[in-house]
Amino acid sequence: MSDTLRGADVVARSLRRIGCGRVFTLSGNHIMSIFDAALDAGIDLVHVRHEAAAVHMADAHGRLTGEVSVALVTGGPGHANAVGALYTALAAESPMVLLSGHAATWELGRGGFQELAQSDMAKPVTKASWTTGSAELLGQDIGEAFRLALSGRRGPVHVSLPSDLLDARLDENAVTWPTTAAAKRQALADADCAKILSLVAAAKRPIIFAGPQLSNAAGRALLTDVEAATGVPAVILESPRGLADATLGALPDLAKQADLVVLLGKALDFTLKWTGAPSFDPAVRLIVIDPEAQLTERARREKGDALLLACIADSALAAEKLAAEARKVRSGDAAWLTEARNALDARPASWRDVVSKTPGRLHPAEVFRTLRPFIERDPDAILICAGGEYAQWAQSMLPVRRRLINGVAGAIGSSLSFALAARLIDAKAPVFAVLGDGTIGFHISEFETAVRRALPFVAILGNDARWNAESEIQRREYGANRMHGCELLPVRYDQVVTALGGHGEFVERAGDLPAAIERALASGKPACVNVTIESTAAPGLRLPL
Ligand SMILES: Cc1ncc(C[n+]2csc(CCOP(=O)(O)OP(=O)(O)O)c2C)c(N)n1
Ligand SMILES: [Mg+2]
**pLDDT tens per residue, range 356-409:** 999 999 999 999 999 999 999 999 999 999 879 999 999 999 999 999 999 999
Alpha carbon of 538 to ligand 2 centroid (Å): 12
274: left (phi over 0), alpha (psi -120 to 50) or beta: left
Distance from residue 489's CA to the centre of ligand 2 (Å): 10
Q: What is the bridge-based pairing of β-strands 285-290 and 234-236?
A: unpaired
Q: Quick one: which atom of ligand 1 is closest to the CA of 364?
A: 21
Residue nearest to atom 15 of ligand 1 (CA): 436
Position 332 scores a pLDDT of: 63
Ligand 1 atom at minimal distance to the Cα of residue 413: 1
DSSP structural state of residue 340: H
Ligand 1 pocket check: which of 396, 467, 487 to mutate, most ligand atoms within 8 Å of Cβ? 467
Q: How far is the CA of 481 from the centre of ligand 2 (A)?
A: 19
Where does 330-363 have alpha helices with state H?
Answer: 334-345
Q: Residue 180: what pLDDT?
A: 74
Task: Determine phi and psi for 308, rounding to 5 degrees.
Answer: -80, -35
Q: Which amino acid is at 386?
A: A
pLDDT in tens, 336-347: 999 999 999 989
Q: Which atom of ligand 1 is nearest to the CA of 390?
A: 21
The protein residue whose alpha carbon is closest to atom 25 in ligand 1 is 411
**Angstrom distance (rounded) from CA 377 to CA 372:** 9
d(CA 181, CA 35): 26
413 lines ligand 1 (CB under 6 A): yes
Q: How far apart are CA 71 and CA 48, in angstroms?
A: 10
Ligand 1 contact via 414 beta carbon (within 6 Å): no
Pick the closest to residue 181 from 138, 140, 139, 147 (CA basis): 147
Of 370, 539, 426, nearest to 418 by C-alpha is: 426
Does residue 399 have a cis bond before it (omega within 30 degrees)?
no
Residue 544 has pLDDT above 90, yes or no: no
Asked whether the beta carbons of 405 and 361 are under 8 A apart, the reply is no
Q: Ligand 1 within 6 A of 438 CB?
A: yes
- With a CB cutoff of 8 Å and minimum separation 6, the contacts of 525 are 451, 456, 501, 502, 503
Alpha carbon of 514 to ligand 2 centroid (Å):
21
- Overall average pLDDT of the 65-84 stretch: 97
User: Per residue in 206-263, pLDDT tens?
Assistant: 999 999 999 999 999 999 999 999 999 999 999 999 999 989 999 999 999 999 999 9
Half-sphere exposure of 361 (CA within 13 A, CB side): 14
Q: With CA atoms as reference, report the closest residue to 53 among 446, 508, 500.
A: 446
Cα separation, 431 vs 110, whole angstroms: 48
Q: How far is CA 230 from CA 175, 221, 285, 327, 382, in A?
A: 51, 14, 18, 7, 29
**d(CA 488, ligand 2 centre) in Å:** 8
Q: With a 6 A CB cut-off, is 388 part of the ligand 1 pocket?
A: yes
Nearest residue (by CA) to ligand 1, atom 1, is 411
Ligand 2 centroid–CA 465 distance in Å is 5
Stated length of the chain: 545
Q: What's the confidence (pLDDT) of residue 179?
A: 86
CA-based torsion, 406, 236, 97, 12: positive or negative: negative
Of 275, 293, 232, 219, the residue nearest 63 (C-alpha): 219
Q: Determine the average pLDDT of the residues in 174-198.
A: 91
Q: Which residues contact 91 (CB under 8 A, 6 or more apart)?
A: 212, 407, 408, 409
